[in-house]
Amino acid sequence: MGGASSRDQEAETSYCLENETVESSNSSFFTDEELAKLKSDYDTGGVEKVKTVVQQKVTELDNTELNVAVTGQSGAGKSSFINAMRGLRSVDEGAAEVGTVETTMEPTRYKHPNLPNVCFWDLPGIGSLEMPLNKYLKKMKFKKYDFVVIISACRFTENDSKLAKEIKRLGKNFYFVRSKIDNDLDSKRKGGGQFNEEEQLEKIRNDCVSKLQRTGIPSPSVFLISNFDLNLYDFSLLNKALEGDLTNIMKNMYILALPNLNSEIVEKKRKELRKRIWMLAILSGVIGVVPDVSLGCDTGIVIGGIVHFRQCLGLDDSSLQSLAKRAGKPVEDLKAVVTTPLVGGEITPDVINRLAWGAAAVTISAIELTVCFIPVIGSIFGVGSSFLMTYKLLSAALDDLTESAQKVVAAAFGTKNDPNQTSAQ
């Protein structure tokens, strides 16, 4: 690929730097203030100064932790919820212990299988003889958690309300989750007679809300879920509430940690992963061409990005095995629908070279760059640069991996699971 003329490069640079407001902080990990500083740094210090700022942001992304506390009454299904959120069954290695009696006497941390910086904490049941409320509030150290999920299997109590008030006082968000909804509906069906499922769900939700209001929570939101099928009931609504409350980086971590339950989650992951591409491309562009590498990009950065994408999209071997077990399908059936060579083996420079054939000849305009989550910087490195090659390779790889992840989800669960549904079909 040939380089652009200096006039073309200046024009593209000027366009993107003047239009940094096209992309708000909603489409990157930078706030509006950080984007303005990034532009200023480039104006005063050039690419090297921008590289330092971007590298700091990448390091922040890699080092940030998301800690989720899960609490509630003994036997409410806290451990089952944590397992479901991590894409595990209770019999899988590393799963939280599930029992009919209180099995957790100390806060227990469970790391996400693919994203170890995302941790779910299984807290002891609130209000038990071993852990009365006043002692519980002191011992659990709620300040260290980013948000708290309060789970009940039947009704929320005064202790739940007191706990929520204390969490709010600490400046943390909390979410009421009513679990085991599938059990409630099954019991209703076995009782005989006709009943409307939507009306029954609304009745359960209203009952929870009214009891919380009586204990002093003015406008509580209660999310109805089944730990054994998160596609049902209010799980998608819970996710939307969480995503709206979390900062950009925390939101990114939470979405990438979700189990692949439906096409909507996979698409959300694609959007979040795309935010990192332009930063990796900038680092590649500053580093320049690695000696003895024919691609014109830093293959180490490209390979690292692809491996990260593959894990987050649930396409590594252990994730496919776990998904197959949860779906009750042979793992070979899931692997059979994968259409990209980026799954199932080691990512090597030779694999990247083959991928480059489809990406190298594509010219990207400044407008396209701005639209594709590259705020402020644009094509400052030129059309034939390592920056653009890395950007195009990672974009193509993410699209290929997302397409295969969508096919895997369809093979695992079929098309019957609608993420917007609120009840079983």
Dump pLDDT digits (tens) for 113-146. 989 999 999 988 776 656 677 778 788 888 899 9
**Greatest C-alpha distance within the chain:** 78
Lowest mean pLDDT among 28-37, 70-79, 115-124, 128-137: 128-137
User: Strand 108-111 to strand 118-122: parallel, antiparallel, or no bridges (unpaired)?
Assistant: antiparallel
Question: Please, which pLDDT band fits residue 214 given cuts at 50, 70 and 90?
Answer: confident
**Residue in 139, 152, 141, 134 with CA at minimum distance from that of residue 73:** 152
Of 376 and 413, more confident: 413
Lowest mean pLDDT among 86-95, 162-171, 379-388, 404-413: 379-388
Mean pLDDT of 233-261: 91
Of 181 and 191, more confident: 181
Is 288 within 8 Å of 275 (Cβ atoms)? no
* 70 three-class SS: strand
CA distance linking residue 312 with residue 93, whole number of Å? 19
Average pLDDT, the chain: 78
Question: Please, which pLDDT band fits residue 288 given cuts at 50, 70 and 90?
Answer: low
pLDDT number for residue 175: 93
**Residue in 389, 398, 392, 387 with CA at minimum distance from that of residue 271:** 398
Is 81 within 8 Å of 229 (Cβ atoms)? no
pLDDT number for residue 27: 52
Mean pLDDT of 90-118: 80
* 65 three-class SS: coil
CATH number listed for the domain at residues 66-257: 3.40.50.300
Q: What percent of the chain has pLDDT over 90?
A: 28
pLDDT number for residue 129: 55
Ranges of each domain in the chain:
6-63+260-413, 66-257
Token pair for 71: 């609490």
Answer whether residue 286 shows pLDDT above 70: no
What are the pLDDT digits (tens) for 297-337?
678 888 999 999 999 999 999 999 999 998 889 999 999 99
3-state helix, strand, coil in the chain (%, to 5): 55, 10, 40
The order of strands in the sheet holding 173-178 is 108-111, 118-122, 66-72, 147-152, 173-178, 222-224
Is 197 within 8 Å of 185 (Cβ atoms)? yes
pLDDT number for residue 157: 83
Question: Please, which pLDDT band fits residue 369 given cuts at 50, 70 and 90?
Answer: very low
pLDDT number for residue 284: 78
Lowest mean pLDDT among 11-15, 168-172, 301-305, 403-407: 11-15
Is 178 within 8 Å of 224 (Cβ atoms)? yes
Answer whether residue 346 shows pLDDT above 50: yes
Mean pLDDT of 152-175: 87
> Which sign, positive or negative, has the C-alpha torsion 316, 322, 324, 327?
negative
Token pair for 72: 């509630």
Answer whether residue 295 shows pLDDT above 90: no
Indicate the DSSP class of residue 57: H
pLDDT number for residue 219: 86
Question: Please, which pLDDT band fits residue 223 given cuts at 50, 70 and 90?
Answer: very high
pLDDT number for residue 357: 56
pLDDT number for residue 361: 45
Which residues does 170 contact at the CB level (< 8 Å), separation at least 6?
A: 142, 143
Q: What stretches of 36-152 adopt beta strand conformation (E)?
A: 66-72, 108-111, 118-122, 147-152
Is 418 within 8 Å of 424 (Cβ atoms)? no
- Residue at 122: amino acid letter: D
* 135 three-class SS: helix
Question: Please, which pLDDT band fits residue 417 given cuts at 50, 70 and 90?
Answer: very low
